[in-house]
A = this chain, B = another copy of it.
């Protein structure tokens, strides 16, 4: 249903671009640029890369996404979870901060971009659907906790190590006494300021008489203010001589042209991490994009998103960047600030480019603890433990998927957590479908509708039993139906007809077909005829021409009501009943 015509992305919005749209886009771009500068530096640090790399990764990707993407407001660049995954993927292969490490990050972005592009071209976007909401929630929450714990050591100015979250937290506690007081004051002060700024700045500015739009824009600049103030203080007091670690010299200039490593064994090593980064990045980006598009009745085309994100990552790799994706916070800010078209993204890219050209000397005195503070405040908003309670009350298997993803990510790492979560949720699904719900149904009086005899007051017949199997029949559950039918028939001596209501059977595979043949054979031996009703079109297409249907002892009915009217008219309402001697009776449930 519903044709999807791909519209050339640029043609969609450049037509009819006017002065109003331009001014909206420009204002949004300024706000997002101000927000992105500290974020880009911070996420580069989180990934173990020099700060300017964060700026580089926010220029070409923004331009390429604007040209190719299907969302009008998505802002692409370094994000917290992907930066953490980058550090995990290459952390053991080179020294963080070294040129070799940078080349590894570039190679990772290149492979990840190639994977995304390939998935888009092959229309494999549906594969990411196998990442369930509970797994994503558990993964994002655990990653945020991991990131926050890792940044805490920078904020406190201590050295702590750990192969997982729990070891890291223990080591933080062990070294807590060696906290560097001045660094901690800067870091914790910035954290406190940023948390306060989230709620406190806007009302304060309104009370000072500023307009709502301006107040909002200034409130978003709080991280920039934090950076400016701590940098000024550090410069004034020369805190770097008192043990406060600062960003230091950041090269000034255009993003460099870079190429990935072509070492084949390295590519093999990075393939799995790159795949996981691609999938996580794509899922995060598409869900942000869809949420925002729905608010303005626009649409996201997942396969086009794959292509756009793939190009963005290839672009990042060629301009000295590292893996990027559509970020949640920056896209929401872009949307709220009034961005109308991808031109806002282009203007933002120009803003970041100007920063890379002109602003980097000003970053010399920025304390690293301030950058870490902006990361901690950003990622803690991703922690969502309410999913635990929600899934617990709704579905135990979703709950266990959340818990396993969360714990494995914290205890082992991001890659293991993701794989464990996906594997567990698939296994639980398969387990459920392997034990189908099978209900005996009866006629709801006064209707042509059949429902479970254990849940509804319905009419049944002693000579006919109606079974509804609530699952597609396939190899994993075919034998269960055999067992149930065997048990049923041996307990009903007066049985003459068994009608399978197939309304919930969406597929019958070859194994299940053999089981149905076996069931029919055994029922015939026991003097019972097997009938089928309400077989769906696609299932019937396949059954047509099989030996099973040719040798079936009973008939195939369009509706279950027709089957029962013909085989056991006694259970119909007296007004509808044809003259026959079969007597029905009311079945009253006890539970």
A residues whose Cβ falls under 8 Å from a Cβ of B:
1-2, 4, 126, 129-135, 294, 297, 299, 390-391, 393-395, 397-398, 425-426, 429-430, 432-440, 444, 447-449, 451-452, 454-455, 470-472, 474-480, 483-484, 486-488, 490-491, 503-507, 509-511, 513-514, 518, 522, 525-526, 534, 536-538, 542, 545-546, 558-559, 561-562
CB-defined contacts of A438 to chain B, threshold 8 Å? 1
CB closest residue in chain B, given A525: B297
Shortest Cβ distance from A3 into B: residue = B487
Instruction: Name the CB-closest residue of B to A474.
Output: B429
Is the beta-carbon distance between B391 and A434 smaller than 8 angstroms?
no
Provide the residues of chain B in CB contact with A562, threshold 8 Å. Answer: 447
Contact assessment for A2 and B484 in the assembled complex, using a CB-CB cutoff below 8 Å: yes
| A140 smallest CB distance to B (angstroms) | 14
> Complex formed: what's the CA distance from A454 to B398 in Å?
36
Contacting pair B488 A2 (CB below 8 A) = yes
Q: Assuming A294-B522, A449-B558, what are 4 further A-B pairs, CB within 8 angstroms?
A: A1-B438, A133-B510, A425-B475, A432-B507
Q: A447-B448, A538-B470 are in contact. Are A511 and B134 (CB under 8 A)?
A: yes
CA distance A320 to B546 in the complex (A): 48
- CB atoms of A451 and B133 under 8 A apart: no
Bound form: Cα–Cα A28–B199 in Å: 87
- Measured between beta carbons, the chain B residues less than 8 angstroms from A126 are 434-435, 480
The CA of A448 and the CA of B534, in the complex, are separated in Å by 13
Measured CB to CB, the closest approach of chain B to A503, in angstroms, equals 4
Chain B residue nearest to A504 (CB atoms) is B504
Contact of A1 among B440, B448, B506, B525 (CB under 8 A): B440
Residue of B nearest to A430 (CB): B426
For the complex, give the distance between the alpha carbons of A514 and B398 in Å: 12
Contact A1 B511 (CB under 8 A): no
CB pair B430 A488 closer than 8 Å = no
Ordered by A's residue number, 30 sampled pairs between the chains whose C-beta atoms are within 8 Å are A1-B487, A2-B491, A126-B480, A129-B476, A129-B478, A129-B480, A130-B475, A131-B475, A132-B475, A132-B511, A133-B514, A134-B510, A294-B518, A391-B510, A394-B510, A395-B510, A395-B542, A398-B509, A398-B511, A426-B430, A432-B507, A433-B472, A437-B506, A437-B536, A437-B538, A439-B536, A451-B537, A451-B558, A470-B506, A470-B536
* Closest B residue by C-beta to A402: B510
Query: Distance (Å) between the CB of A126 and the closest chain B CB?
Result: 6
Q: Which B residues are in CB contact (< 8 Å) with A509?
A: 132, 395, 397-398, 429
C-alpha spacing A347/B212, complex, angstroms: 95
Q: Are B475 and A129 in contact (CB under 8 A)?
A: yes
Residue from B299, B394, B542 in contact with A394 in the complex, judged by beta carbons closer than 8 Å:
B542
A484 touches B397 (CB 8 A): no
User: A534 to chain B: which residues have CB within 8 Å?
Assistant: 449
B476/A130 in contact, CB under 8 A:
yes
Report the bound CA distance from A526 to B454 in whole Å: 39
Contacts of A429 in B (CB 8 A): 430, 474, 476, 509
With A391-B510, A440-B1, A510-B398 given, is the CB distance from A449 to B559 under 8 Å?
yes
How far, in angstroms, from A477 to B131 measured CA to CA in the complex? 11
With A129-B477, A448-B448, A538-B470 in contact, is A506–B436 under 8 Å at CB? yes
Contacts of A561 in B (CB 8 A): 447-449
Closest beta carbon of chain B to A517's beta carbon, Å: 11
Chain B residues, Cβ within 8 Å of A134: 475, 510-511
Min CB distance A567 to B, Å, is 17
